[in-house]
A and B are shown apart, each in its own frame.
Chain A
Amino acid sequence: AAGVIQSPRHLIKEKRETATLKCYPIPRHDTVYWYQQGPGQDPQFLISFYEKMQSDKGSIPDRFSAQQFSDYHSELNMSSLELGDSALYFCASSPSGGGNTDTQYFGPGTRLTVL
C-alpha cells in the first residue's frame, strides 16, 4: 500500500539558511500534519492542513511557514535556521477531514541537521 512520502530524507544546512521540506500524503488523504521530533524526544505537533486550509497550529516558530497545495501535498518552509532546529520532521496524513475518525499515518521523516 502507498505510504506518506517525504523529501528529502536528509538535509544539511548552515545557520541562517532556509530549508523546504515536502510531504506527499497517502492517496485520497486530504489532511496533512507536521511534527518535529528532537533527539530522544516524542514528536511535537507543528501545524496541520485540511483541504488546503490551515486547521490547527501548535508550537511552530514564526520562522516556519507551511502550506498545502491543490494536489494535497504540503511543504514546510523554514528560514533563518538555528542549531536547535536540528531534528526529525515528520509528516502524517489522515483519510478524512479528521474529527472522530482521525487516524494519522506517518511518513519516514526528514532528518534536518543545522551546522
Chain B
Amino acid sequence: QKEVEQDPGPLSVPEGAIVSLNCTYSNSAFQYFMWYRQYSRKGPELLMYTYSSGNKEDGRFTAQVDKSSKYISLFIRDSQPSDSATYLCAMSGWIKAAGNKLTFGGGTRVLVKP
C-alpha cells in the first residue's frame, strides 16, 4: 500500500464549477503538505503549501489539512479550462534539517469543460 493515496480520476467538471481533490496518507511523520499542478510533459508547479491543520486560501485555491484524519484537500473555485491538468499532492516530514524528500500521491487528472 502506498503511503499517499490519491484518486487518479479523471475528474470532469463544467467551467465555473468547484473542483474538489483529496489525498489520504498513512505516515504520521508527514508534517508538510503541498499541492502541485502538472501540465502534460511539464514540471510540477507549486500551488499551495501548508503545515498546520485547518484551511489556507490563495485566490481561487483553498487547501485543507486534517492531521487527525490524515486527510488533505484542495478546492478550486470558479474552475477554468486552463485548470485542466494533473494535480499532485505531496508531503514531507521533518526528519532531518535538509533535503527532505517529497512523497507524492499518484495525481488526479482534472478536465474542465467549457
Residues in chain A within 8 A of chain B (CB atoms):
4, 31, 33, 35, 41-45, 48-51, 55-56, 58, 88, 90, 92, 97-100, 102-109, 111
A90 engages B98 (CB within 8 Å): no
The interface-forming segment of B13-21, B39-47, B57-65, B70-78 is B39-47
Some 28 contacts from A to B, beta carbons below 8 A apart, are: A33-B102, A41-B106, A42-B106, A43-B44, A43-B102, A45-B102, A45-B103, A48-B98, A50-B98, A51-B98, A56-B101, A97-B97, A97-B99, A99-B97, A100-B31, A100-B32, A100-B51, A102-B32, A103-B34, A104-B46, A106-B36, A106-B43, A106-B44, A106-B46, A107-B43, A108-B42, A109-B42, A111-B41
Within 8 A of A (CB), among B79-98: 88, 92, 94, 96-98
Q: Are A108 and B43 in contact (CB under 8 A)?
A: yes
Closest to A55 in B: B99
| Total count of chain B residues near the partner, CB < 8 A | 27
Q: Is the interface of B mostly helix, strand, loop or mixed?
A: loop
The contact of B98 among A99, A109, A111, by CB within 8 Å, is A99
Q: Are A109 and B43 in contact (CB under 8 A)?
A: yes
State in angstroms the CA–CA spacing of A99 and B101 once bound together.
10
- The complex places the Cα of A109 from the Cα of B40 at a distance, in Å, of 12
